[in-house]
A and B are shown apart, each in its own frame.
Chain A
Amino acid sequence: MAKIRNNGKLTDGQVGFLLVVPGIAVFIAVILYPFISAILMSFTDRTLLSPSSNGVGFANYRKIFSDPYFLKTVWTTIVFVIFSTLIPFTLGLIWAIVLNQGFRGSEFLRGVTLVNWIIPGTAIGFLWSWIFNGQYGILNGLLISLGIIDSNISFLGQTSTALPCVIIARSWQMLPWYMAFLLGGLQSVPMDRIEAARIDGANNLQVFRYIVIPGMRQIFFLVLILGAIGNLQHFDIPWTMTQGGPARATTTLSLEVYRTAFQNWKLGQAATVGTIWAILLAAFSFVYLKQVKESE
């Protein structure tokens, strides 16, 4: 700060650079240095059992690309990220519209909705695995007492239902977060333009389509990107609910990395999965950056 104060002697470029110095320092310490050492690690047989390791060239990469399950894991990750971003986004938007109506108690509901998001992820995982449990689950109990089903369904024990269950739990956790952002967005939509449109005879759908959505484009983009990144990194809920099973149905890249590194002790191989993941994402980021540039 003190240096910036002497700005008389500094050019704008120098000031700009100084501003980013704290960021760079933290970035190098906790991201860049660990990141580079992880990439280097991906070319070794480093394990958690010993600090020494040997270079193995591309052996880890070959191993992963010849693993018949790797593509499936990538696919599961994509499905998980897309649905657990879009479902709470859509529900969060509707919920924000409902709460934005300003009826009695809406402020209170808004606050209470946030509770879901603050409960530690592990506890949420346990809550939902209890709801979906195939033996003493709450959902099964409810469905049976309503006469909808005769015998318990093993929601988490079947490949077809396990991933949707995990996505529902994750959506429940994140809905409040989308709601909070989108509510802010809704309130920033200029009212005068809506009123003008009303005078021209626009109905609700037209107002939503031609004024609300364009007005919120920036915030939509922001929450979708942040949400997708969060889901990509997400670990707690699928880990507590299914440990990636049954038969790998809920194994995402994040779980795979954790399992390879901290259960199979193969740091080199885990770093390889991480590096491939980073490359895939770099492609995605590139598209994103291009988009940002074009909109500028």
Chain B
Amino acid sequence: MFQKTLAFRIFFTVSAILIGCFVFLPLLWLINTALKPSDQTFSLYFFFGPLTLDNIISIITDRTIMTYLKNSLIVSFLSSFFATLVSAFAGYSFSKFRYKGRKLIMGAFMMSQAFPQAILLLSIYLMMQKLGLLGSYWSLLISYVVFTLPVGTWTLKGYFDALPDSLIESAKIDGAGNLKIMRKIIFPMAVPGMISIAIYGFVWSWNDLLYSMTLVTDPSRRTLAPGLVMTYLGEASTNWAAMMSASIVAAIPVTIIFVFLQRYFIAGLTSGAVKE
């Protein structure tokens, strides 16, 4: 893309070093802390000093933390999946169909992403209580859609808008039904967009503290963010080393999944179907 002129080489090296330091030094510090014996947490040595795997091992063998991790993975996966699916249907509908009330619904979706989520919580809590869903994965799955639906619908509408109507018309002439057109033509082309929305939704759910803590009180269904905070941030003491170790351990499986998914979403974009 860029010619390797002297100016570009300088730009490349300087940026690589500066941004690399910014991105990786704090991360290395996190790992460094996770590897220090807990009575050394606050000494300022950087890897050169006593190191131990005790913290990491105690996290991996801690069944409670592993349960939180499992719960977080399940809830985040499913909620981002549902949200993406629902957003894709809605986005496609807004983009390619015309019916009464469409504009109104679109406007309402758009507006809603703006409202502070902390305020929505109370009504959601009371509703979940009435539905008897409190404490279940469902309560989180449904309410996490709140994070993704508006943004997802609008983003995917943008993707579908970019698809030429002629594509659909010609498929119709060939006798394909709406469902077939969606499944065979439209959705595959929007995969990159869907994956980015799924990732967006995943991380919102993954990071959520307030909803999870309020809607799910049973430790066997608790997710990671509240789990970490509750375990390591106490009234009397804070266990930084364990919290850092747990964060690192928790980040590993998701990083692997993302590295895997990222290929698809970049490959999807490069295929050019969306752009032209």
Contacts and interface: CB of A to CB of B under 8 A. Distances in A.
Q: In the complex they form, do A and B come into direct contact, defined as C-beta atoms under 8 angstroms apart?
A: yes
Interface of A: 1, 4-5, 7-8, 12-17, 19-20, 22-24, 26-27, 29-35, 37-38, 48, 91, 94-95, 97-98, 100-101, 109-123, 126-128, 130-131, 136, 138, 141, 172, 175-177, 180-181, 183-191, 194, 198, 203-204, 207-208, 212, 215, 218, 222, 226, 229, 232-233, 235-236, 253-254, 257-258, 261-262, 267, 270-271, 273-274, 277-278, 281-282, 284-285, 289, 296
Contact of B254 (A37, A118, A207): A118
B94 interface: yes
A13 B94 CA distance: 10
B87 A111 contact: no
A22 B23 contact: no
Contacts of B109: 23, 27
Contacts of A226: 151, 155, 200
Interface string B30-65: 100000000000101000000000000000000000
Contacts of A35: 112, 115, 120
A103 to B, nearest CB: 9
A207 to B, nearest CB: 7
Given A16-B98, A33-B123, A177-B203, A229 B16 contact: no
How would you classify the secondary structure of chain A's contact residues: helix, strand, loop or mixed? Answer: helix
Contacts of A7: 177-179
Interface residues of B, number: 101
B107 to A, nearest CB: 8
30 contacts: A16-B96, A16-B98, A16-B99, A16-B102, A20-B90, A23-B86, A29-B142, A30-B145, A31-B150, A100-B1, A101-B12, A112-B255, A113-B23, A115-B255, A118-B250, A120-B247, A122-B225, A123-B243, A123-B246, A126-B243, A130-B240, A172-B22, A188-B269, A218-B158, A235-B118, A258-B118, A274-B118, A277-B115, A278-B115, A284-B114
Contacts of A15: 97, 178
Nearest to B168: A12
A20 B94 contact: yes
A101 B9 CA distance: 11
B175 to A, nearest CB: 11
B28 to A, nearest CB: 10
Contact of A122 (B42, B124, B155, B209): B209
A232 B258 contact: no
Contacts of A95: 15, 19, 23
A98 B244 CA distance: 29
Contacts of A30: 120, 124, 142-143, 145-146
Given A119-B247, A212-B1, A127 B30 contact: yes
Contacts of B196: 181, 184
Given A123-B30, A289-B107, 20 more contacts: A4-B178, A4-B179, A15-B97, A48-B122, A98-B19, A111-B258, A118-B258, A120-B224, A120-B228, A172-B23, A184-B265, A186-B1, A194-B1, A198-B3, A253-B116, A262-B118, A274-B118, A281-B111, A282-B114, A285-B114
Contacts of A38: 115, 119-120, 123
Given A20-B90, A20-B94, A34-B124, A184 B19 contact: no
A92 B201 CA distance: 20
B127 interface: yes
B114 A26 contact: no
A189 B114 contact: no
B135 interface: no
**9 nearest interchain CB pairs?**
A16-B97, A34-B123, A23-B90, A281-B114, A13-B99, A19-B93, A111-B259, A34-B120, A123-B247
Nearest to A255: B118
A204 B2 contact: yes
Nearest to B196: A181
